[in-house]
A and B are shown apart, each in its own frame.
Chain A
Amino acid sequence: MEQLINEIKLKLIDTLNLDGMTPEDIGNDAPLFGDEGLGLDSIDVLELIVLLERNYGIRLANPQEGKKVFQSVAVMADYVAANRTK
């Protein structure tokens, strides 16, 4: 699981163009959205949905599902591990 968490962090940095950020800057359980976490906002959700589909074959059809899945990197990793098709 630790490997998957690190992989997701790297993909987040690449996909969201977080230039200069390192995986160490992202806490496993830190909220992805809002000022206390990674500082992402609703614009970034689209990028995260595409990230899941392209890299793990997961399609999120329901936006409400995204709210739960994108809570933190750790939550994302759990979801990917349970639902990935590639």
Chain B
Amino acid sequence: MSSQKNILRLFIILGVFSWLLMLGSGHLYRFGQIHHTSTEVDLFFTKAFLIAFIVVIYFFYRRNIGSQEGFNIIDLLWKVFVTGLIATVVSLSSNFLMSLLKDQEHGRNPYFLDTLYYINVGLITTFLIATFTVCKRLILYQKSKRLIRTWNVFEYGLLGSSLLFFTNLNIYSGLGWFIQSLLALLAIVLSVNLKWVAYLSFKQKWKSILLIILIGLYIGYFYTILNGYEESNGFVPVFSALKVFSINALYFFALVYCVFSVLVILFNLPTSSVFEQKIVEAVNFQRLSQSRNTGQNEDQVFEILIDSAASVSVANAAWLDILDENEDVKKTLFHKTGQREKEIILKSIKTNQVKGIKSSVPSRNIKKNRFVAEIKHEVYRSIFVIPVFIQDKQVAVLSLVKDVNDGFNKETIEIIRTFINQASISIENYRLMEEAIINERYKEELKIAKQVQDSLLPKHLSTIDGIEMSAFSKPAAEVGGDYFDTYKMSDSRIALVIGDVSGKGTSAAFHMSQMKGIFQSLVQLNISAREFIIKANNALSSCLDRTSFITTTYFIIDGKEKKFEFSRAGHCPTLYFSEKDKKVKFLEDNGLGLGILRDDQFNDFVEVNEIGYNSGDVLFLYTDGITEAKNQKHEEFGYERLMKFLEKNAFYSADYIKEEILKTLYDFCGTSNLDDDITTLIVKVK
């Protein structure tokens, strides 16, 4: 920024300097003329400094005006106007001074008159170049390669013709006219580039006309001033600035462009409202499309919609009924009207004048409640009603009213339709986002549920001397219905349980936690396996819903008597490896799942069994997720494979057996993501 200022300052200094040099060399020439010692060389310097002055001013304005980004047209014209004003005031005062001193000795002093002339030439040149630079910006407002090329030819032509000044080529000679005509032709060709006019608002157009007319007046005034000098009696300036080709051409160009501009602006005045309207449409459309990205809520989008629709259709009033799920009006947004007036308007619709609109664009959104109609109201004459749909569901109805008959033409209706489509997309996006947020929240809740359920399963299995245990449980979804637990009843007795709730997922998880409560309560009563099952069934009968049940197997391991006491309540039969027999078998006692019979009849189905155990015996408890796990051929893992597995692995530790069964199962299924909850609890007698 400061370097820009410094450069401008440098140009000003250079400008003043070259002007002073022109003045000095001019006076020298005059001195020579008066004393008859003049040579052509002296005038050459004056001319050279004038050209230098023009070039410096040109670069000054090119920097000052020509390089501004995002300029305002009115500001540019204003700058030229102010430059012209200053130049005129100074020029007028110098002329006033001259006429004041006309009859005095000093007033006829050629050096004095020369100085005034140089001042005028400096001011006029400055003003012309300022105008030229602004014209350049306006002409190149929407530039094309060809236009820039033409302009460059014009600019170099001006520069080149300036040099002709040195050759004493008469501007009015044949060649002079030819060169002038060429420059004039280029000026006219360039002057038809007036695209900037279209971007002015109505008000700006009037302002521009005023400014350009004033600028034109300055140009005319300056021309007469310069011309006048040459015609005024008794004084002939050392050179005539009007004989400089470029200055002459600049005059012509500036004048032509001013005239063209004024005419074009004048002719554009009546249609400027249309252009402004189009810009409003574009801006509103952009607002609506942006609301899609910024995730504005529904009310905000509806507000933008009603504002935009009212402004593009130039409606006198509007309202937007926002509908709820049942398509009843939930809320109404008003624009320059109110509830009372709305009702009056609705009542005054001439029902025989209602016209449905057939759209040129086929759309699923056309329903019969979209219409234009005439209304009989003291102010309003026509109404346009259009519904807003989101995924075939009506969410709002927009109504616009106007104080003229047939106020809504086809174009307006189409534009409002596009607005409504945009608004629908915005709202739909917003809703999808809301849904995503809710889903995310559910996921979080499920995560918490999973953590809670994980904590319901024992991390450490309590055991007694001589018994080794290992367990694993994994739900298919976040939470599941499998359960296992152990409890140390005394130094020599432990209880263990495995359970499976019918169904899957969250409902199963709730019942699983009930089962945990029941186990932890009953096991402390130090009751037999039979009593445990009966009491658990009793308790669950009032907890479980109609179609739910829980299968379970309950074991009491007595380390002193070296026996298992167990009862199976509908659960998958436990796999037992007897070290003595070297055989694996299922403990298939009778039994009923808990919750299947919810009264005393259940007791008749409870069976209890006892097995004396030896070192090396293995109990393999599991849920049906293991036996029913399927491979890609839809074969179940099944009881046979399970038996074979244990036969092969019963000699290893409980932990090893657990790891192996998982490996075997996952290998069989080809994945570790199984469809069902899986749980296993392995007991090994050391």
Partners in one complex: no
